[in-house]
Amino acid sequence: MAENPGLVITRVTGFGQDGPYAERAGYGSIGEAMGGLRYVMGEAGRLPVRAGISLGDALASVFAAIGTLAALQERARSGCGQVVDTAIYESVLALMESLIPEWVIAGYQREPGGAVLPNVAPSNLYPTADGMLVLVAANQDTVFARLATAMRKPELAADERFATHGARGGNMEMLDKIIGEWTATLTSADLLDVLHASGVPATQIYRARDMVGDPHFNARQALVTIPHPVLGDVLQQNVFPKLSRTPGAVRWAGPTLGQHNAQVYGDLLGLSEGELAHLYAEKVI
């Protein structure tokens, strides 16, 4: 940094640039485990599970980008560069809500809760007449009152077992049973219509096939089709977040294997055509 004080360098590693673990090898999965995410995922009494995506890697890249933007903004004021030190485990840790204070202050250890939030109800998956599961999140007092009205059981909102956030959390199983018995009488489509009309947050569990063709995804252009020379038209996620005046756009779906070898090895690294041909012949590239 001393040779180029205006330089911003972003480094992404498993454990950061210093500390006793800095030299350890790390992957996103390791960061998820060390950052506290893996322990709280899954069902109570069973082995921890992964999120289904490489969440640690994705979080690290997002925080690295945010840090880089912050460093560039600061450089515009001071003229000084700096190192953006992004550790995967800290990227995961940053999203772990009040996990640490809960333990330090109250001695409360978060445990895996499956589909529910501990002591928060109703917020669960509920059955429907057509075999689908619908996620309903109505734990706030006013929202629960709307749910009770939609169920044609407005008295539930005044029942001392369910009238407050704390009471509902303490009687979660009982409340979930009552709600589940009602949701099971409706198809998923009818249930969602009733809940949405009543102002109750609810949704089906989306898979890729559900996202493709969904009217809201389409209206907001959350997915965009990009041509690829080998794969043809590729439907993929669009740029996010959206900017009203200077919106971003996906311009290409990525290069084919080795597409830019000549530019990288020749133009940037200065290798001759002969040296490049040798690398091809030795199957180095």
Q: Active-site residue numbers?
A: 57
Place of tokens 């077992």: 161
Reduce the secondary structure of 55-66 to three states and give it as a string. Answer: HHHHHHHHHHHH
Q: Which residues contact 95 (CB under 8 A, 6 or more apart)?
A: 37, 59
Beta pairing, strands 83-87 & 9-13: parallel
Q: Is the dihedral of CA 10, 15, 18, 22 positive or negative?
A: negative
